[in-house]
Amino acid sequence: MNGTKKEIEELVKTLAAATLDPDVEVIVGAPSIYLDHTKRLLPCNIKLSAQNCFKVPKGAFTGEISPMMIKDVGATYVILGHSERRHLFSECNKLIGEKVQHALAEGLSVIACIGELLEEREAGQTEQVVFEQMEAIAAGVSDWSKVVLAYEPVWAIGTGKTASPKQAQEVHCKLRGWLKEKVSEKVANDTRIIYGGSVTAANCKELAKEKDIDGFLVGGASLKPEFIQIINAKMQK
């Protein structure tokens, strides 16, 4: 929940003027009220995502937006299951799974988020929690090429803490193993699993070196010039 029209114009201007790694897919997630405005500004090499949506095309759900509406303004992605949706707005695994299923059925690509709380990690429940979240998401997926998974340890979001590259890689590896066992080896190899948890220019290069970390879900740093450095993490010496 950041930005004004003017601020978005400045952010897009910075992105448009930058030299970006051509091998990196860049997607920006604007607040729903600014999706149309952002689409008009974005260069063609940057895609647009909504930050959330509901599980039906239309109806008496005041304040919600649907995948149909998101597509209508030219966005092609939606972020679902973000930790803030889960823990601030009490969205359960079942609801998130239903939303994923509907968004995919409507032709959107989905960035599906999973992750554990600090008390869950300290109790040794990380694997159990993220696998339960995965099961709810996977139940609604028939085409995994339209899904990007985002692992975001809740204890490392907005706290200044970051999972070490080793901690992040460990969970990413387990998620890829889950996909191999529950879906297929091809899906496990092809599905992008990105990391979100206080990613900054200072830590992105080390995180990007890990085998199973395929990209980043960037929070506050996406509002700063350092976002360019994060996009180009693999290019930096």
- Token pair for residue 57? 């095309």
Q: Which two tokens stand for residue 48?
A: 């647009």
236: in domain: no
102 in catalytic set: no
- pTM of this prediction? 0.96
For residue 212, tell me if it sits in a domain: yes
Single-letter amino acid, residue 22: P
Which of 37, 82, 102, 172 is the catalytic position?
Answer: 82
CATH code of the domain in which 96 resides: 3.20.20.70
Question: How is residue 137 written in tokens?
Answer: 């998401």
Residue-wise pLDDT tens digits, 140-163: 999 999 999 999 999 887 776 778
- Nearest in space to 195 (alpha carbons), one of 132, 150, 129: 150
| CB proximity list for 42: less than 8 A, separation 6 or greater | 12, 15, 16, 28, 48
Which pLDDT tens digit goes with each residue over 57-91? 999 999 999 999 999 999 999 999 999 999 999 99
- Quick one: which of 120, 32, 133 has its CA closest to 86? 133
Residue 99 lies in a domain: yes
Query: Is 87 an annotated catalytic residue?
Result: no
Please name which of 32, 101, 97, 28 lies closest in space to residue 70, comparing C-alpha atoms. Answer: 32
Q: Is residue 27 part of a domain?
A: yes
In-domain check, residue 97? yes
User: What average pLDDT does the chain have?
Assistant: 96
pLDDT in tens, the chain (237 residues): 999 999 999 999 999 999 999 999 999 999 999 999 999 999 999 999 999 999 999 999 999 999 999 999 999 999 999 999 999 999 999 999 999 999 999 999 999 999 999 999 999 999 999 999 999 999 999 999 999 999 999 988 777 677 899 999 999 999 999 999 999 999 999 999 999 988 999 999 999 999 999 999 999 999 999 999 999 999 865
Catalytic residue among 91, 98, 120, 152: 152
Q: How far apart are CA 68 and CA 7, in angstroms?
A: 27
Cα–Cα dist 112/23, whole Å = 21
Query: What is the tally of structural domains in the chain?
Result: 1
Residue 237: inside a domain, yes or no?
A: no
In a domain, 215, yes or no: yes
Domain containing 156 equals 5-231
State in Å, rounded, how far the first CA of the chain is from the last one: 34
